[in-house]
A and B are shown apart, each in its own frame.
Chain A
Amino acid sequence: MRILRQIRPILSALRSHKTAVTLLMLEIALTMAVLGNLVFIVYGTMQRSHMATGVAESQIGWIQSIGVLGQDNPGTGAENIAVLRNAPGVLDAAYGSPPFVGKETNPIFPDAARSRPVAHAYVVQGSQHMSTTLGLRIVQGRDFNDGDLPDLMDVFMKKTDTPLPALMTQALAQRLYPDGKALERILYDGRYAYRVIGIIDHLRSEVTGRANDDDALLTEYRIGAQDLGGGYLIRSRPGQLPQALKAAAAALQKANPGHVENKVHTMAELRENYFKSDLAAGRMLVAIIAILLVVTALGVSGLASFWVQQRRRQIGMRRALGATRGDILNYFQAENFLIVSGGVLLGVFFAYALNLFLMHRFELAHLPAHYLLAGALALWLLGQLAVLGPALRAAAVPPAVATRSV
């Protein structure tokens, strides 16, 4: 109640400092707008960098084994898979590339005329064992069986017009077939036709934050006696990836003396690489957030000091008339709270305006309301901390000041 009774004099005191109060509120509002959007962006990046791709990441390694021109190589694709599967610690292996490696979306069409795409999805191709090597979870339908798989050469040379069997992610299935009957449906990309044989829970080829990250089709083909350069995948026993990948890479190199292994990476390394740039930019934004808070706090505190100094005599009078130190402290704290509250109200508009601008120009998502709430709380706290020093100094003003130089 005491504080409530104090509000009226505070407001009338502030009325004679309109410019300064407006400026302070403006600063709080702008800080809130920039802060809210910055935190939103940085948090989004951090969240993205941890988003699961749907494959058994901790167990997957990737070996890029490329043929050197003019060198004969005895290894064949089928043998290579067998060699990898026999390496110690390896559960499964396939020819293909994991998420984060050279992925692009393809337009997906409902009919062979291919006139209007209904989705843009990642089409992942790999050899036999691809889905089991990636450790995909089938939630409906079935996985590939050996009889399904078309021959690699038939696929690459497009000698076959029969639809390729494919697994589809749940997200894409729900988008294309809201009736829930995705199995056995036929669909097309620019080059092939696909028949859906099973639904997998997730397969994110990239984590861009766009809505179609989890839209994917996975097909397998059979590789045999071809000398295949490119990426090979292994899945290790849990917890044995580093040793297993090393052993697998060595075994693959031995079987393919005409190849060079340019890149041997675990999924964790691929993920780190993929997000490196985003996270570096994120760190810079975090630095800006910290500085922004410091600058605002210093501004609030600087202006409060000025006010305290300006009102020394009035403070002295109040003390002489019986106000306690606590009353003076409360006064400045309440004043700060009122100003910050005004700034926060204005800040909600500013934050949404900035968010709308960023959404319009940079495809950013809508700023959720709880960021604003958190921003408001942070600024209230910041304001109280910033005003504490000057307010304590005000409380220390002795009543005797009132009697001087009146």
Chain B
Amino acid sequence: MFGYYLDLAWRSLRRTPVLTALMVIAIGLGIGASMTMLTVLHVMTDDPLPGRSAHLYTPRIDPLPLAYKQGDDSPDPADNLTWPDAMALLKAHRATRQAAMAGGSLMVRPARAGLQPFNANGRYATADFFAMFGVPFEQGQGWSAADDEARAHVVVLGSALARKLFGDAGGLGRTVRLEDNDYRVVGIAGDWAPKPMFYADATGSQYSDDDQFFLPLSVAVDLDLSVNGNNSGWGRDEANSKTNASTSWLQFWMQLDTPAQVAAYRQFLVDYSAQQKALGRFERPPTNARLYSLMGWLAHENLVPNDVRLQLWLALGFLLVCMVNIVALLLAKFLRRSGEISVRRALGAQRRDIFLQLGVESAVIGVAGGVLGLAIAQLGLWSVRQRPDDYAQLAQMDVPMLLGTFVLAIVASVLAGLLPALRVCRVAPALQLKAL
């Protein structure tokens, strides 16, 4: 039956090529615009670390004084941790793995002749970083907790930086000069750049940055290396801004494998805050402490800029206009065939059959519109990639979005066909037959 309906649909559409083309173009344009923006939103809110993200969590504790007021446009200092808090969580060792980290930009001074000094972005982290996030290694490995403790001058290089400095040979065991210190290369990381860079401070460009080197956090504190991102202080002590208790600048991530572990850690954070409050360091309620899952944290950070959301809404509004348009055109098209349909009814076809037949016809338009929409979405994504925004380069369609395009196109066209089909099913065959 389905094959027969397909055949009928094909014949019917071929009879009115202009009207069919109009409908396909309308649905194609609506789908194309919507899918462009949906794809942008999709890549921006996608899981940056599939497979691992479900077990990754980040704490948020609130060490701010009661009187602290956040500026309108300024980031929340409590999104980051202070050095004492990060070290306390690290030493408590309540999670399977845990690491504290911060981003930094250092001047690389290549030993190779002909290469000028340049700045590179990287990360200061504690030892668990690599195993917890599953960073692949081309050569060597990360450093150990003992290296952290010893403030060892070791570095893990990203593959691009390693190649730039040492050519294809790698450079494991060689020395790199960053700012005014030498570091021994203990590992070369493979291609690893989660997008967005969820573990970085939210004030950076998380869609376009990547880490080119990794240094032990203890070394960065020891040498007072420069730190990127939101570095907020609220205390009066002007002492070392990295280690004091009223400057937040660190990110902290942990791996928790079971729901019981998650619940226990949540409680631990509240208890820790209560204890700090009892000591007089924290002023705000301990229940302000939160534990975010990776995806929950990305939602909390709200990385998608407002103009992208606005454009998505407008594109969806555009799709709605296109759909209403198709409803009107399908109504015209179906009503025009009242006679033919009445003949089928008179020959024994039930309303359900007619409804199904017209539904198939709408779906055929949807498939054709989906093909056109896909082409238009590719054009739209190409134009998004020309934008100067930091997420622009990510705007590529993946398989789920590709299939989604067709699903959306077919659903939209079948929905649009619903009302006209119902209307035509109500036509009384007898009246129409008389008029033939």
Contact = CB atoms under 8 A, between A and B. Distances in A.
Contact of A104 (B30, B73, B331): B73
A256 interface: no
A34 interface: yes
Interface string A148-186: 000000000000000000000000000000000000000
A288 B315 contact: yes
Contacts of A317: none
A20 B317 contact: no
A216 B320 CA distance: 44
Interface of B is mostly: helix
B62 to A, nearest CB: 20
Contact of A302 (B180, B328, B335): B328
Contact of B71 (A120, A288, A292, A298): A120
A34 B311 contact: no
Interface in B4-32: 18-19, 22, 25-26, 29-30
B309 interface: yes
B310 A299 contact: no
Contacts of A306: 19, 332-333, 335-336
Given A69-B107, A302-B19, A296 B69 contact: no
B117 interface: yes
Interface string A231-248: 000000000000000000
A259 to B, nearest CB: 14
Contacts of B180: 69-70
Interface string B319-332: 01110110111011
A73 B332 CA distance: 80
Contact of B310 (A68, A310, A358): A358
Interface residues of B, number: 50
Contacts of A70: 180
A151 to B, nearest CB: 20
B336 A310 contact: yes
B387 A277 contact: yes
A197 interface: no
Contacts of A362: 306, 309-310
Nearest to A120: B72
Interface size on A, as a range, is: 35 or more
B117 A298 contact: no
Contacts of B67: 115
A126 to B, nearest CB: 22
Contact of B325 (A107, A283, A296, A309): A296
Given A34-B321, A292-B321, A298 B22 contact: yes
Contact of A23 (B33, B309, B331): B331
Interface string B394-436: 0000000000000000000000000100010000000000000
A30 B30 CA distance: 13
B435 to A, nearest CB: 10
A303 interface: yes
A246 to B, nearest CB: 23
Contacts of A120: 71-73
Interface in B105-125: 107, 117
A354 interface: yes
B259 interface: no
A296 B73 CA distance: 41
Contacts, number: 129
Given A27-B325, A295-B29, A362-B306, A284 B311 contact: yes
A69 B324 contact: no
B327 A23 contact: yes
A277 B388 contact: yes
A20 B331 CA distance: 7
B318 A34 contact: yes
A370 interface: no
B179 interface: yes
Nearest to A27: B324
A361 interface: yes
A309 B180 CA distance: 84
A357 B313 CA distance: 10
Interface string A292-317: 10011011001101110110000000
Interface string B292-318: 000000000000001101110111011
Given A23-B328, A27-B325, A34-B321, A68 B117 contact: yes
Residue of A24, A117, A302 with most partner-chain B CB within 10 A: A302
B71 A303 contact: no
B383 interface: yes
A354 B317 contact: yes
Interface string A105-118: 11100000001010
A354 B314 CA distance: 10
A37 B314 contact: yes
A209 B380 CA distance: 27
Given A105-B73, A120-B71, A298-B26, A30 B317 contact: yes
A245 to B, nearest CB: 23
Nearest to B27: A295
A23 B107 contact: no
A280 B314 contact: no
B324 A23 contact: yes
11 contacts: A23-B328, A276-B388, A277-B389, A285-B311, A295-B325, A298-B26, A302-B332, A306-B335, A309-B336, A361-B313, A362-B306
Interface pairs A-B: 3 shortest CB-CB: A306-B332, A299-B325, A23-B328
